[in-house]
Amino acid sequence: MKRDNNISSISVLAIIVLFGLFVVNGCTPPRGATTAENEATAPSIEKKAVTDKTKTTSSHGLTAEELYAKAPPELTPVQCAQCHRPIYQKLQKAGGKHRIFCTRCHDKFHTYNPVQNNWREIMPKCKKCHTTPPHGEKHKDCLNCHKEPHTPRVVPLTEYLTKSCGDCHSSELAQLKKFPSAHTKQGCTACHDKHGFIPSCLNCHDPHVEGQTFEACKACHPAHKPLQVQFVQKYATADVCNACHDEEYEKWSHTKSKHGKVQCIQCHDKHGFIPNCSKCHGTPHPPEFVKHFKGCLECHIDVHDLPTKQGTKQ
């Protein structure tokens, strides 16, 4: 008898718990209708969405048609940078002409599949824009030199590049060969330790005069044929000539003759050129007189320190 009471108590408790679960979960059937009747008469959510499509709205109150009525605007570089910040910063600092909309090159993105390993397929190709190889048919693989497309003008000095300088810089190579100098014996990277870097002459050479600038150096000495001096009046002053021609400068700077007022390049308009006196003076003496002498300096002795009185040297 006691056992029967226990069973009855357990059954009552189970009923109470089940009823409570229905109430908590909102699963109590409506009064006067069975569960089967509800399923038969209440339209499902999916059916309602199909039959009343025009009333389907998003959280912004727009219909599906309104949400997808327009093509999305092109992504801006700043929007791409929200995920690809390092790439954006490279373009920002040294992007050159590649500082354009990212989607102009990357017309496929977020489609990398590690299983297919399709990286090369989705990455843009240089020839998409550079239809004609800019460095000729010999160098068609851009990435041999331009390792980072987002900084195209930052070109590392790889072994491939240093062996190919003359292919792009043919005029400079021709000058080095045609006009031999100490520069001819140097490899390009001895001066150009970065691609596109133009060093100052003063990195290796002492100036002719104190305070001389790099602009003055390159104005007279073309870097790839430095011994072919091209005088520029602004920079080729007598004190510059003194750096190498000190004996002549010493005489010239102390002479009392009119030559002391003439700058070196007015007579020596080419480096190493020794002019004839007649270039400036013509033929001041009668031909009968001149034929008895081998040259002007038999009488006038030294052009850098001419005698100021006939027959004497002061």
**Which is more confidently placed, 7 or 65?**
65
Residue 241, Cβ density class (10 Å: 0-12 exposed, 13-18 middle, ≥19 buried) = buried
Higher pLDDT residue, 246 or 1?
Answer: 246
pLDDT at 283: 85
- Looking at residue 56, its pLDDT comes to 55
CA distance 216 to 201: 10
pTM to 2 decimal places: 0.60
pLDDT band at 14 (very low <50, low <70, confident <90, very high): low
- Cβ 152 vs Cβ 145: under 8 Å: no
pLDDT at 177: 95
| Mean pLDDT across 42-64 | 56
The rounded distance, in Å, linking the Cα atoms of 275 and 177 is 29
CA–CA gap between residue 283 and residue 277 (Å, rounded): 9
| H helix runs in the chain, sequence order | 2-24, 35-41, 45-51, 64-67, 77-81, 85-94, 102-105, 119-122, 159-162, 165-168, 170-178, 214-220, 238-241, 246-254, 264-267, 278-281, 287-290, 297-300
- Cβ-contact 114, 136 below 8 angstroms: no
Cα distances (angstroms) measured from residue 5 to each of 1, 14, 184:
7, 14, 115
- Checking if the pLDDT of 48 tops 50, the result is no
pLDDT tens per residue, range 261-292: 999 999 998 998 998 888 888 888 888 888 88
List the single range of 147-161, 248-262, 279-293 with lowest mean pLDDT: 279-293
Q: Residue 28 has what pLDDT?
A: 44
Q: Is 312 helix (H, G, I), strand (E, B) or coil?
A: strand
SS3 (DSSP) at 161: helix
